[in-house]
Each structure stands twice: as structure tokens, then as C-alpha cells.
Amino acid sequence: MTTQLGTGDPALLRTAGTGTARPGTVGVGTAGVGSAGPGTARSGTAGPAVGYDQLWAADPGAWRAAGAAWAGLTGLVERRAGELAERATALRAGWSGPAATAAGGRLTALRGELTSIAPALIEADQVLADYAARLATAKGRLAAAVALADASGLLVDRDGRVGADPARARPSERDGPAAARVTAALRGALGLAGAADRAVTARLDELTTAVGAGWPGTPSSGRPATDATAAQVRAWWAGLTPAERRWLVAHEPALVGRLDGVPVAARDQANRLLLGARRAELLAERGRLLTRVPPGPVETIRLHALDGRLAGLDALADRLTGSAGPRAYLLGLDPAGEGRVVVALGDPDQADRVLTYVPGMTAGLDDAPGELGRAARVLERCAALDPGEQSAAVLWLDYDAPDFLHEAVTAGQARDAGPALHLFQEGLRATHDGPPARQTVLGHSYGSLVVGTAARDHGLAADALVFVGSPGVGVAHAAELRLPPEQVWASSAPDDAIRLARPPGELLRPPLLDVSPLAAALGLPGRGEHELWFGRDPAAASFGGQVFPSGRHGHTGYWEPGNPALDGMARIVLGR
């Protein structure tokens, strides 16, 4: 039976007898996709190519959920380890002597064995999530190939064979070249799925072997210097054995989690292991504040801020453990002060396109979930515009964002953030697998000043810069940002109040000077040049960059559904 699949509806393929994809029907192993279910991956060599019907029925979401289930077991491990610690403490309080010492040592060893499982559980989640992402990309390319066939008046049968549509009155002489293009696109999608199938099998095999053998012993090599570059860190990490890397993740997570130049997967494992301790730090701080009864005005303000950080951390933890949407990778977390966090949606080391988003004033751990939602909306538009590309988006909030206007009117905090943003982008370049990804750095509001200052003073490993709702980026022309001006983009909503942020010296200037012929003759900037608080408006023509439109959604509405600015950001990330 031949089925025309121009609509991309899997139900049409099921009419050919394929059935519905579900956990347990799409798998990894020697037979390729469709051979086994989540949790039943088998070892073996590369098997036959993935079939057209197998890829069409494959369910990436099932694999994503299977990985999240493995990662979810880390909570159980932590609880059981905590129970062992409590029992060891109780044992020491009521028992002494050589036997008690031996029993305490055994309990400590058991607790160590138990906690050593956690990194492997997280790694299993990462492997399956990467597989799900690659399957989704392959399915996107498959759907594009089917759409091309439909537009060309061709048919694709249940085995993926391409032929002329007999329902047409007369075959076209163009059918041959069109069929060749469709066939090539189908082969590309199936090849991508097959490569993903083989890769995940090999990675799960390696992880299974490693867990069985363990990874005892500290690495013999030293640790990177505190001022090491991302490339130096990457070289150090590459020189370690897999067992040494896993040992470092388990025993020195604070070191591994903060190092730019360590692969994303390892940093995510390390930082997830620290989540419980970071939350405990916030709870301990809260307990100290509550020792004063009743709390004074200062304590009350601090308690309110602390509760906000706790709520933000809990919401972030829910996103990290959830199976909806792209997998989240925790690349940095510091609950001190207002809180700092770096989270990626999708794995930047595997993605073809990577966005780094830098938020602005008042951003902190308390509203990190909301800021992450903005990055997610750009990522969703990227997937909608080009499902055949694998993209990732990073929320980079590793700086002390201004909380009040008297802080936001100076560039000091933007300058302080520059070296860290520079090093982070260098790290993304250093750890990426395969051909370099297209890297885009986006700054909103004060975050645009952070991006502009970092690019101006240190340079950024980026292919494009994007500024939205900007008060100025610290330069007068796009060429000063060390990127080609055609890769510097900006958007400013017509009703964005940031457009009123005139430079200090202009606040007292006579309004008529803006339209004065004398001002033009003297070369003074008029309102048409639109000088802002931190320099020339990057959305002004005289800035020399590119501009994309925004609807009337105010200062925070660039990510609103239906705003052309959202599509604009996504298209820049994709390089369109």
C-alpha cells in the first residue's frame, strides 16, 4: 500500500500498518531504532540502517522521559544516603569500642558506594536526552523530505521509496531530478538517526562497563590554575582518563562545575550533585535570620529576598528534573547574594546553533525560571522554523545585575561581568563536538550593556550579537564590537521606555537643539542620532548594525507570542 505523506501526519503512516510509537517500541541496539524499549539497550556493533517507518514512528519524548526517570533516582539515593548518615550518628552516640568503630566505618563505606551511583544516573539521563534530541532532529529532516515530495507531486511509500504519483494525468519530465532530491533528503535523515542509534549504544555500553569497574583513585595530574584559559582547561580535561574524569565529578564537583573548558555534560553532573548542599546553605541562612524574634525591618527584608531565592531554586530544580521540553543542563549555581545561575536548554556541545542570553536589571536567582522561559521561547521558535537543526539556548546569569536605578546608571557592573562572559563563550567554543556551532549572544536591557562591554573590551567567541531593549552598549558604532557590523543586530519596541534614557548631558540641553541647523553644522548629535544613556542606540541607523522590528509590547515584551521580535531573534540564531 502506498501512502502520500505530504501532510507529515504519522497517522497516515499507521494506515500502512506501522502502529503507534510508545515507550517500549522504539529502542537502541544492534537492530537500530525500533529494536528495544527504554531501559533495555543492548550492546553490539552497528546494525542495519534505520528504516523509514521506524524513524517515522520513533518517539523522542519517550526517550526523554526514560532519561528523566533515571535521573530522578538520584533523589532516592540522596535520601538513603542521608538515612545511613543519621544511623551512623546514632550508633556513635550509644556504642563505642573496636566493634563500634568497625561498624561505623562500614556504614561510611556503604554511604560512599551509594552516593557514587548518582553521577552515573545523571549521565544515563544525559545520554538518553541526547539521543532524543538527535532523533527529533532526524524526524524534522524526514518531515521536510516528505514535504518536498508532496510539493513535487511525488509519493513516498511505507519503505521510503520515492516514485511518481499515478493519480496525476501525466508524469513530468522533472520527476527524475525531484525524486533524486527527495531520496537524498530521506537518506540524510535516516543516516542521522542511524548514527545516533550507534552512538547511544556505544555510550551506554561504556557507561555500564565503567559503573561495573568503578573509578577509584584521584587523578595523578594537578588541577588547572585559577587563571587558566578555557583552551587550557579543555586540554587538561582531555588528558584525563574517563575514570579520572568521573572521579573528579563525584569527589570535586565544586571544581568541575565552575570550570569553563570542561564539557557541558560533566559540569551538569557536578552542579546537580551540589544542588542539595546549595539549598541547605539558603535554609541555614534563613534559620540564622529567624533567631531574632520578632525579626526587625532589616531581617524582614532579607527574609523576603531569601524566600525569593529559595522559590527560584526550587522552581529551577523542578525544571532540571522534568521531562517536558529540551533537557536542562546546570552549568553554574551560586546562591550567595542575589544568586547566580547558568542553565542551558539542550546540550550546547552537541547543538548546531547556540544562543547565550544575558538578562538585565534585577535579574537574580529568584526570577531565573522566568528568564529561562524567555530563552526557551526563542528555542521553540528555532525548532518551529527549522526542526532539522539541533539548537540550544543558555541563560547566562553569572554576574551581579543591578537591583536599583542608582546602580543601573553606571557601567561598573557590566565591566565587572565582561571577563566571565568572555571566558564562558570561549569555553563553549572549546568543548563543542564536531564542526563549530553558530554562537549568538543576546543581551536585554542592562544585559545588552554587559554583552557590548564584554565584546568591546575582551572580545566574544560569537558569530552574532543581538541587543533588545538596550540603553546603549558602550560603543558608538557596531564596528567597535569586534564582529562584522552585518552580524550585530538590535530591536527597540516603539513603546519601550528605555528609549527615553537620554545621556546625562542631554537632560539639560534645550529641546530645539535637536532640530537646530546649527547643531547639524557643528556636528552635534541630534535626536535623530538617538543617543542613549550608555551610548548610541544600537537600533539607530547611524550605529551601523542591522535592525529587526518589534511590536508595541513595551520593555519586557520582546518574547511575547506574535511579536515579530521573537521571530527575528530566532532567525538570527539560525543564521537566516
Instruction: Give the pLDDT of residue 172.
Output: 61
Strand partners, 358: 443
Residue 15 has pLDDT above 90, yes or no: no
Residues listed for the chain: 576
CB 391 within 8 A of CB 572: no
Mean pLDDT in residue range 28-55 = 47
**pLDDT for residue 35:** 31
DSSP character for 444?
E
Q: Please tell me the least confidently modeled range out of 14-18, 119-123, 424-428, 461-465.
A: 14-18
Instruction: Quote the CA–CA distance of 104 and 19 in Å, as a whole number.
Output: 55
Q: Which pTM was predicted?
A: 0.84
Max Cα–Cα distance, the chain, nearest Å: 95
CB-based burial of residue 79 (10 Å sphere; 0-12 exposed, 13-18 middle, 19+ buried)? exposed
> What string of DSSP letters covers 6-74?
TT--HHHHHTTT-----TTTS--STT-TTS--TT-----S--SPPPHHHHHH--HHHHHHHHHHHHHHH
Residue 555 has pLDDT above 50, yes or no: yes
C-alpha cell belonging to residue 149: 515530495
Residue 9 pLDDT exceeds 60: no
Asked whether 332 and 340 are in contact (CB, 8 A), the reply is yes
Handedness of CA 362, 364, 366, 370 (dihedral sign): positive
Kindly give the pairing relationship between strand 488-491 and strand 546-547: parallel
Q: Which of 62-71, 151-160, 483-492 has the highest mean pLDDT?
A: 483-492
DSSP-derived pairing of the beta strands 464-468 and 438-444: parallel
Q: Which residues pair with 334 in a beta bridge?
A: 340
C-alpha cell at 188: 540524510
Which amino acid belongs to residue 447? G
For residue 422, the Cα-to-chain-centroid distance in whole angstroms is 17
Task: Pull the grid cell for residue 414.
Answer: 557590566
pLDDT, tens digit (0-9, with 9 covering 90-100), for 154-163: 888 888 888 8
Does the pLDDT value for residue 506 go beyond 90?
no
Task: Give bridge partners of residue 468 from the DSSP assignment.
Answer: 444, 491
DSSP strands (E only) in 312-437: 328-334, 340-345, 353-358, 391-397
- The model's pLDDT over 215-234, given as tens digits with 9 standing for 90+, comes to 666 787 789 999 999 999 99
Q: Note the pLDDT of residue 28.
A: 34
What mean pLDDT is predicted for residues 424-446?
A: 97
Looking at the chain, the whole-number percentage of residues with pLDDT higher than 90 is 60
Averaged pLDDT, 367-374: 95
pLDDT surpassing 60 at residue 344:
yes
Tell me how far apart the alpha carbons of residues 393 and 297 are, in angstroms, rounded to a whole number.
40
* Average predicted confidence (pLDDT) for the chain: 84
pLDDT score, position 437:
97
CB 467 within 8 A of CB 489: yes
Q: Which of 165-179, 207-221, 553-567 has the highest mean pLDDT?
A: 553-567
Say whether pLDDT at 508 is over 90: no
Mean pLDDT score, 368-395? 95
pLDDT, position 516: 40
By 3-state DSSP, what share of the chain in percent is helix, strand and coil, each rounded to 5? 55, 10, 35
pLDDT class for 346, splitting at 50, 70, 90? Answer: very high
Residues contacting residue 218 through CB under 8 Å, at least 6 positions apart: 244, 247, 251
Rounded distance between C-alpha atoms, residue 125 and residue 79, angstroms: 19
Task: Please report the pLDDT score of residue 170 as a whole number.
Answer: 55
Q: CA angle at residue 85 from 81 to 87, to 5 degrees?
A: 115
Q: How far apart (Å, rounded) are the C-alpha atoms in residues 97 and 86?
A: 19
- Decide if 559 contacts 530 (C-beta within 8 A): no
DSSP state of 259: -
pLDDT at 49 over 70: no
The CA distance from 52 to 20, in Å, is 14
